[in-house]
Structure 1
Amino acid sequence: MDLLTDHLVRARAAGAVFARTVAEPPWGLRLGGSIQLSVHTVVRGRGYLWLDAPGSTVELIPGTVTLVRGGPDHYIGHEPGAQCLEPEEFRARHARIGPGDNPQATVFLCGAYQFSGDVGAGLLDALPQVMTLSAADDDPLRDVITLLSRELVRNELAQQIVLDRLLDLLLVLAIRADFRRSPTAPRWYRASADPRLGAALQAIHENAAHPWTVPELAAISGLSRAAFARAFRDALGQAPVQYLTDWRMTLARDHLRADDLSLAQIADTIGYGSPFAFAAAFRRHHGEPPGTWRQRERTTAHTRLLTTHPGS
């Protein structure tokens, strides 16, 4: 499994298509910053997307995909600065399936993604606040946009599964395209393409529980220990052992936050010989025991749930 696939799988991204919308001007939609990643694509017509920050307006036209990372609210409308409705009111007024009678109407798709854990957070942090990609005629992105639009006008069994998979594909293609072209792509992504380091990085990610040593990783890479350590530090900004520890701690945090595994089970999963060794390493890394960290994180998550969904 390559590193990008590994990150996407571990992030356990859950997607949902809001709707295929036919909106006749004037129209506008506000989307809250709590949505971790929004995906927008116009099928017909045009629209505009903007943040509160000046100079942030992006034109939405057919054949483009725009991703917006969570944080600030963002808005889409028939013109920059259009009055924007909350999603519920907007759907009641505009969301409907059909070709649209008004040639001035904009037909667009909105999707949302929620990522889980620190692996997901790391992926999101690597993306720009707003990213727009143009799909050429022979680009797989254009094919996926077409399939999404067609599926949404059907009334077929298992439609939600199809939509989720297509949105998954759209997201992966967009992230892959951005990382491939961006000088600020994650270091692990760039290093994974380095023939000197790719195999060793993949080994670490596929089996974090293995007691990896620098000589062992160097042998996988076909380099001397010194040459491997130097190339690794140059590419990733840290020594191989520190990278391995950081990755294990990332996995540990995700287990503590999301699973009911015991400390002994987590220790075994990520490569520590005992729960005591794991607890000591976690305390060195985070300044508190894993049990304390887990309780605090779950209390915070519960409080956040009650705040955003009072009836839960």
Structure 2
Amino acid sequence: MDLLSDHLVRARATGAVFARTVAEPPWGLRLGGSIQLSVHTVVRGRGYLWLDTPGSTVELIPGSVTLVRGGVNHYIGHEPGAECLEPEEFRARHTHAGPADNPRATVFLCGAYRFSGDVGGGLLDALPQIVTLSAADDDPLREVITLLSRELVRAEPAQQIVLDRLLDLLLVLAIRSEFRRGATAPRWYRAAADPRLGPALQAMHENAAHPWTVPELAEISGLSRAAFARVFREALGQAPVQYLTEWRMTLARDHLRADDLSLAQIADMVGYSSPFAFAAAFRRHHGDPPGTWRHRERVAAGARMLTTHPGL
């Protein structure tokens, strides 16, 4: 499994909310910053998306996909600066909109994704606040958008399952395209393409529990120890052992949040000889022992579940 696949699988992206809307002007929708990642595509007609900051407006047209990273509110409407309603009020007002073939209507699709843990957070942090992708004729992204458009024309059995799967494909292709072309791609993504570093990174990600040493990683990469350490630091901004430790801590945090594994099980999975060694390393990095950290995170997650909902 390549590194991007590894991150996406561990992030466990889910289509938490999905909506297909037909709206006639005037229309506008406000979406809160609690949505981790929003995906918007116009199937028919056009619209505009903007943030609260000046100069942030982008046009939404068929054949393009726009991603919005969470943290700030964003708005979509029939024109820039249109009056925007909260999701529940918007749905109530446009429930009885005309048919999708109405020449005045805009048909658009919104997906709101959640990502698990710090692996997913790292993927999102690498994206710009707004990403607009326009697919070339031979780009798989265009084919997925076309399939989405066709699927939305009429109701069919199991349509929600088809749309969820197509949205998953859309998200993966969009992230891959942005990382491939973007200066904001994570360092690990660019380093994985370097034949001097890719094999060592792959090894660390595939088996974080292995007691890797710099000479062993250098041998995998076909470099001397000194050359490997130098190239690694230049590409990733940290020493190989530091990178491995950070990756182990990232995996540990996600296990502590999401699983009911014991500390001994997590220690074994992320490369520590005992729960005591794991707890000591975790405390050095986070200031608290893993059990205390787990309890605090779960209490905070429960509070967030009660107070936030994308509500598309």
**Matched-pair contact (CA < 8 Å) for 2:29–2:90:** yes
CA separation in 2, counterparts of 1:194 and 1:101?
Answer: 49
Q: Which residue of 1 is the match for residue 243 of structure 2?
A: 243
Aligned-pair distance for 1:97?
9.2
Structure 1 segment 1-312 matched on structure 2, within 5 A: 1-16=1-16, 18-94=18-94, 100-308=100-308
Residue type of the alignment partner of 1:217: L
In structure 2, do the counterparts of structure 1 residues 68 and 46 end up closer, same or farther at CA, with 3 Å as the change threshold? Answer: same
2:27 counterpart letter in structure 1: W
Cα distance in 2 for residues equivalent to 1:42 and 1:118: 31
Q: Which amino acid aligns with 1:182?
A: G
1:122, CA displacement in angstroms? 0.5
Higher relative contact order (CA 8 A, sep 6+): 2
Name the amino acid aligned to 1:22: V
What is the one-letter code of the residue matched to 2:8? Answer: L
On the 8 A contact 2:232/2:240 being kept in 1, the answer is yes
Conserved? CA contact 2:209–2:269, under 8 Å: yes
* Cα distance in 1 for residues equivalent to 2:72 and 2:288: 31
Cα drift, residue 17 of structure 1: 5.5
Secondary structure of the 2:8 match is helix
**Percentage identity across paired residues of the two chains:** 87
CA offsets 1:224-280 (integer angstroms, 9 cap, x no match): 111111110010000000000000000000011111100000001111110001001
In structure 1, C-alpha distance between the alignment counterparts of 2:158 and 2:126, rounded to whole Å: 33
Q: Secondary structure at the match of 1:48?
A: strand
Amino acid at match of 1:166: L
Q: Distance between the aligned counterparts of 2:149 and 2:60, measured in 1?
A: 16
Q: How many Å apart are 1:101 and its aligned residue?
A: 4.7
Q: How far apart, CA to CA, are the structure 1 residues paired with 2:186 and 2:37?
A: 18
Q: Is the 8 A contact 1:52 1:73 kept in 2?
A: yes
Counterparts of 1:96 and 1:108, CA distance in 2? 15
Moved more, 119-128 or 12-21: 12-21
Q: Mean Cα displacement is larger for which, 195-204 or 299-308?
A: 299-308
TM-score (structure 2 length as normaliser): 0.95
Counterparts of 1:101 and 1:12 in 2: how far apart (Å)?
36
Partner SS for 2:59? strand
Residue 22 of structure 1 and its aligned partner are, at CA, apart by: 1.8
CA distance in 1, matches of 2:38, 2:59: 16
Residue 29 of structure 2 aligns to a residue in which SS?
strand
Indicate if the aligned counterparts of 2:34 and 2:308 stay in contact, CA closer than 8 A.
no
Range moving further from structure 2, 98-107 or 136-145: 98-107
Paired letter, 2:189: Y
Quick check: 1:38–1:111 contact (8 Å CA) kept in 2? yes
* 1:279-299 Cα deviation digits (max 9, x unpaired): 011111111111111111111
The amino acid that maps onto 1:299 is: V
Unmatched 5+ stretches in structure 1: none
Deviates most, 34-43 or 150-159: 150-159
RMSD, matched Cα: 1.6
Question: 2: CA distance between counterparts of 1:308 and 1:45?
Answer: 31
Q: Could you tell me how far apart the structure 1 residues matched to 2:51 and 2:184 are? A: 22
Q: Is the 8 A contact 1:20 1:97 kept in 2?
A: no
Aligned partner of residue 124 in structure 1, secondary structure: helix
1:248 maps to a residue whose letter is R
Aligned partners of 1:20 and 1:149 also within 8 Å: no
For these two proteins, the number of residue pairs brought into alignment is: 309
Distance 1:144 1:96 in 2: 28
